C-alpha cells in the first residue's frame, strides 16, 4: 500500500499557483500536513481525493495513476473536507445511510457500521435528532463518521478538529492514532498540537511548496540550539519583534520573558531552551517565506 505524489502543481488562474512541484511518498501511518492558512493544503487534499486534477505531475495509488483511473482509490478512500456540509432535515442515521448507499455498502452491513461509528464519535444519543439542530462540533463528528464508513485504506481529513471542544479534540486524536496501523492517514491542519499528538511523519507546506518532511524528532533536531528564552523590558518588546522571530511571550514582574528563534544568543542574559515542535514549525515557515521573498 503506497501513495506517491510526483511533481504535482496546480494552477488556478494564469499566474496563481496553489501547488508547485510537490513530491512525497507515503506508506501506512499518520502524516501530519502542516502549513499556514492558504499554503495549499486543501488544494493537495482535493487532488488526492480525486476531486481536482493537477495541472502538472501525477499521483499514483499502488502504482495506478488516480487521474486516469480514480475508481480504484475511491473505493478505499475516506475523506473529510474542510467545508463539510450536511442535510439539515436528516438525522445522523439517515444521513450516514445515504452516504453508505452512495458508497455501495450493503444495507445490513451499513446499519451495523453506522451503529459502531455513532458510538465511536459519541453521537449515539443523538441518532434521531435532526442535523439542522447540531452544533458545529457535532456536525464535524458526523463528518468524521461518514469518512470512516467504508473502513478506508486511505483516510484524508482536512482541518478535522475545527469546532471541536478540547475533550472532543483529544478523543479524535486518539481515534486517528488507533486507525493508523494498516492504513495511510493524512491529517491536514495548521494546529501543531493536533499533529504532535499522532503523526509518525510531518510534512510542512508553505506557498504551495513542500519545504520540510521527516519524523518529528528530525524537525526538532533542526531547531536544536536555535531557541532562546530572554527576559527584556516591556519597552524593548517592539525592538525584539523587529529583529528576531518571536514565538512566545510571558509577562512577569521583572519584564517580559520572550521565546526567540535565532542562530545565536539574541542578547545578554539569553539562555538556550529545548525546542518544541511548534518552535520547529514556525522556524521552518519563517525561513521558507524569507527565501520566497528573496
DSSP letters for 204-272: EEETTEEEEEE-HHHHHHHHTT-EEEEEE-GGGHHHHHHHSEEEEEEEETTEEEEEEE-SS--STT-EE
- 250 shares its domain with 282: yes
Note the pLDDT of residue 4: 97
Residues 187 and 263 both lie in one domain: no
Task: Give the pLDDT score at 294.
Answer: 44
| Residue 198 and residue 53 share a domain | yes
Is residue 135 located within the same domain as residue 101? yes
Q: Are both 81 and 50 inside the same structural domain?
A: yes
Query: DSSP states of 163-221 as a string?
Result: T--HHHHHHHHHHHHHHTTTSEEEEEES-HHHHHHH-SEEEEEETTEEEEEE-HHHHHH
Looking at the predicted structure, is the pLDDT value of residue 293 above 90? Answer: no
State the CB neighbour count (10 A cutoff) for residue 152: 21
Q: Considering its fold, how many domains does the chain have in total?
A: 2
pLDDT digits (tens, 9 = 90+) for 237-279: 999 999 999 999 999 999 999 999 999 999 999 999 999 999 9
CA distances 151 to 58, 100, 113, 117, 248, Å, are: 25, 11, 9, 10, 41
Q: Determine the pLDDT at residue 82.
A: 81
Q: Are 189 and 259 contained in the same domain?
A: no
Closest CA to 166 of 143, 210, 197: 197
pLDDT in tens, 174-208: 888 887 778 999 999 888 988 988 899 999 999 99
Residue 162 has pLDDT above 80, yes or no: no
Would you say residue 292 has pLDDT above 70? no
Measured distance CA(208)–CA(142) in Å, rounded: 30
Average confidence (pLDDT) over 94-117: 92
Q: What is the pLDDT of residues 212-233, one digit of tens each?
A: 999 999 999 999 999 999 999 9
| Residue 74: partners with Cβ closer than 8 Å, 6 or more residues away | 50
Same domain assignment for residues 194 and 112: yes
Both 48 and 177 in one domain: the answer is yes
Cell of 32: 501530519
Residues 116 and 185 in one domain: yes
Parent domain of 212: 3-220
Of 220, 238, 264, at which residue does a domain stop?
Answer: 220
What order do you get walking across the sheet with 3-13 strand by strand? 16-26, 3-13, 56-61, 64-65
> What value does the mean pLDDT of the chain take?
91
Give the pLDDT of residue 138.
87
Residue 171 pLDDT > 60: yes
Q: Are residues 123 and 250 in the same domain?
A: no
Domain final residue pick, 184, 200, 220? 220
Do 131 and 251 belong to one domain?
no
Domain boundary among 168, 195, 220: 220
Residues 133, 165: Cα–Cα separation, whole Å: 17
Residues 73-94: pLDDT tens digits? 999 999 998 878 889 999 999 9
Residues 6+ apart with CB under 8 A from 123: 92, 138, 141, 142, 145
Strand partners, 56: 9
Same domain, 34 and 144: yes
CA distance 183 to 28: 5
The enclosing domain of 116 has a CATH number of 3.40.50.300
What is the spatial distance between Cα 294 and Cα 290, in angstroms, rounded to a whole number? 6
Amino acid at each position: 500500500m503506497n501513495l506517491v505524489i510526483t511533481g504535482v502543481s496546480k494552477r488556478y488562474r494564469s499566474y496563481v499557483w496553489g501547488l508547485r512541484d510537490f513530491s512525497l511518498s507515503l506508506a501506512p501511518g499518520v502524516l501530519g500536513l502542516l502549513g499556514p492558512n492558504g499554503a495549499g493544503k486543501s488544494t493537495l487534499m482535493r487532488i488526492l481525493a480525486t476531486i481536482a486534477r493537477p495541472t502538472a505531475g501525477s499521483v499514483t495509488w499502488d502504482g495506478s495513476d488516480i487521474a486516469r483511473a480514480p475508481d480504484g482509490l475511491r473505493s478505499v478512500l475516506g475523506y473529510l473536507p474542510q467545508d463539510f456540509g450536511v442535510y439539515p432535515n436528516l438525522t445522523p442515521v439517515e444521513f450516514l445511510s445515504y452516504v453508505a448507499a452512495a458508497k455501495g455498502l450493503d444495507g445490513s452491513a451499513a446499519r451495523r457500521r453506522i451503529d459502531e461509528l455513532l458510538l465511536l464519535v459519541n453521537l449515539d444519543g443523538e441518532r434521531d435528532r435532526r442535523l439542522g439542530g447540531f452544533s458545529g462540533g457535532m456536525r464535524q463528528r458526523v463528518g468524521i463518521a461518514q469518512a470512516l464508513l467504508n473502513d478506508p485504506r486511505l483516510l484524508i481529513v482536512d482541518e478535522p478538529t475545527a469546532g471541536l471542544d478540547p475533550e472532543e479534540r483529544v478523543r479524535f486524536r486518539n481515534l486517528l492514532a488507533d486507525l493508523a496501523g494498516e492504513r495511510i492517514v493524512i491529517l491536514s491542519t495548521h494546529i501543531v498540537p493536533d499533529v504532535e499528538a499522532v503523526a509518525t511523519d510531518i510534512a510542512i507546506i508553505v506557498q504551495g511548496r513542500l519545504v520540510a518532511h521527516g519524523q518529528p524528532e528530525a524537525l526538532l533536531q533542526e531547531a536544536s540550539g536555535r531557541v532562546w528564552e530572554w527576559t527584556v523590558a516591556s519597552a524593548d518588546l517592539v525592538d525584539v519583534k523587529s529583529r528576531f522571530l518571536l514565538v512566545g511571550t510571558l509577562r512577569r514582574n521583572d519584564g517580559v520573558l520572550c521565546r526567540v528563534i535565532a542562530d545565536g544568543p539574541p542578547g545578554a542574559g539569553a539562555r538556550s531552551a529545548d525546542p518544541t515542535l511548534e518552535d520547529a514549525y514556525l522556524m521552518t515557515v519563517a525561513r521558507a517565506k524569507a527565501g520566497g521573498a528573496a
